[in-house]
Amino acid sequence: ARATPAFVREHTGQVIGGVSPLAHPAPVPTYVDPWLRRHPVVWAAAGHPAAVYSTTYDELVAMTGATEVDVE
């Protein structure tokens, strides 16, 4: 099932299309696919549909406390 725009906004404080893995009003479970390790730079949404930031896989996992999940 997909989250509604209202649900996303309520739980992240951000709008669909730009939800950052950081800066939520309360802890939100975060998952990351280890496949992303292949890339020296990972781009993530920055809280707005027109904003992104660069990071590394290891930084992303460390900043978010993400759980690694293989998505095949």
Strands 42-45 and 52-55: antiparallel
Range of the domain at 35: 5-68
Convert the pLDDT of each residue in 9-26 to its tens digit.
999 999 999 999 999 999
pLDDT of res. 69: 97
Nearest to 3 by CA among 47, 11, 59, 25: 11
Give me the helices (H) in the chain, please.
5-12, 57-64
* Total domains present in the chain: 1
Q: Over 90: is that where the pLDDT of 72 sits?
A: no
What would the two tokens of residue 15 be?
Answer: 């709008």
Convert the pLDDT of each residue in 10-69 to its tens digit.
999 999 999 999 999 999 899 999 999 999 999 999 999 999 999 999 999 999 999 999
Separation between Cα atoms, residue 9 and residue 14, nearest integer Å: 5
pLDDT of res. 1: 83
For the domain that residue 16 is a member of, what is the CATH number? 3.90.960.10
